[in-house]
Structure 1
Amino acid sequence: MPPPGLSPSTERLIPVVSLSISGTFPKNPIAVTGQSVVFKVYSKLYRRDVAVKIVSQNAIPAAVAEKFLPRELDVTMKVRHPHIARCLAITRPAPTKIVIISDYYERGTLLDLILEQKRLKENPLAVTLFRQIIEAINYLHTRGITHRDVKLENTKIVGFSQNNEIFSQNFDI
């Protein structure tokens, strides 16, 4: 029996994706939405943990799938900025499925950080994080790209080093 939120077609797709990235999928996903399921997978091909997002195109309204999805996938593959999450690959292993493989951010999201700490305790940290978000948005805007879904849960955190780097992702262009 598949984990909750995993359709039979997605379940059948997992071995194919697993083979393509030389990775083993865990039993349970790390996130499930109405349109997608996300797994943390160690990939021998990439030699690190990656996030594998399997999108069900059938779950996306047709108008959105036709107009916005191709553009979002194109932008996701092309953008390269120090504070924008890197997409490693996008494939269409089935007519109604899209697989997006990207870097995995162990530390979670900016929302996780704020909920954990109740607030950003250090003013310099808040300033650093905000600056990085603005730099990423500016990079997109100078290329005529609008990120229509900037929010705490779409801002991934690499860790807490001297740089306190964050990455924006989940483009809804």
Structure 2
Amino acid sequence: MAGAEAYDFGQLLGEGGFAKVYRARRRSTDEEVAIKVISKAQAKKMKLQARVRNEVRLHRSLSHGHVVQLLDVFEDDASVYLVLELCDRRNLYTFLRQQHRRGGSMPVPMVVVLVRQLLKGLQYLHARGIVHRDLKLSNCLLKFWRDPRGKRRVTLKIADLGFAAQLDHPAQEQFTLCGTPNYIAPEIAKAGAHGLPADLWSAGCIA
């Protein structure tokens, strides 16, 4: 398995409490990817080692057009590296901000397309017993491309499985307080039992 030396690291795309995401290029294939670098020391300090292991375990099992693809995982003494599909450096939050600054809004047909794609990705996760628990605009990445006729298209991909949980059956519930305040379902906000429907609330907030 390749290590960090197999990649040329470039622009910092984003960062959080214990991880940074970089644009990178795989030297052997010239493929552009995103690499999430998780600090082991920070994860330990924040008592999030189990969360990191869970994210890797769940993400490895997934392959769907509306979920960001995990391409590789490796680690060294200091960090865990998640090599991910690159999605144009844009998420739904930054895209909407750009539209607003230009005095415009997202066309209704595009809204319909993106919401459908979000729900397809969510349906895939739920069919595998995975509740995301942190759906929000910034965790919806956008990949722009052109079809054979040259028409610009966009694909939405769900990202960041850091708070995701695997359920043994659809009715199983979790009790962890997690997520982002503006998007979390009321039952999570009250630190109560929650399951797959909590993601539907978050999807509604996004829509």
TM-score (norm 1): 0.79
Superposition deviation, residue 156 in structure 1: 0.7
* Deviates most, 33-42 or 131-140: 33-42
Find the counterpart in structure 1 of residue 119 from structure 2: 134
RMSD: 1.9
* Deviates most, 84-93 or 30-39: 30-39
Superposition deviation, residue 44 in structure 1: 2.6
* Deviates most, 161-170 or 134-143: 161-170
Find the counterpart in structure 2 of residue 25 from structure 1: 9
Of residues 74, 98, 105, the one that matches 2:80 is 98
Distance 2:131 2:41 in 1: 25
Superposition deviation, residue 99 in structure 1: 0.4
Superposition deviation, residue 160 in structure 1: 5.5
Q: Secondary structure at the match of 2:59?
A: helix
Find the counterpart in structure 1 of residue 185 from structure 2: none
Q: Secondary structure at the match of 2:135?
A: coil
Asked whether the 8 Å contact 2:8–2:27 carries over to 1, the reply is: no
Aligned residue pairs total: 151
CA deviations on 1:59-117 (whole Å, 9 max, x unpaired) are 2332x322x322211111111111000011111222x5210111111151011110011
Identical positions, percent: 21
Asked whether the 8 Å contact 1:35–1:55 carries over to 2, the reply is: yes
Correspondence 1:19-168 to 2 at 5 A? 19=5, 21=6, 23-26=7-10, 29-60=12-43, 61-62=46-47, 64-66=48-50, 68-94=51-77, 96-118=78-100, 120-159=105-144, 161=146, 163-168=153-158
Distance 1:170 1:56 in 2: 16
CA deviations on 1:129-161 (whole Å, 9 max, x unpaired) are 001001111111111101011111111110154
AA at the equivalent of 2:93: L
Distance 2:158 2:119 in 1: 10
Q: Secondary structure at the match of 1:24?
A: strand
Asked whether the 8 Å contact 2:96–2:106 carries over to 1, the reply is: no
Superposition deviation, residue 31 in structure 1: 1.9
Q: Secondary structure at the match of 1:105?
A: coil
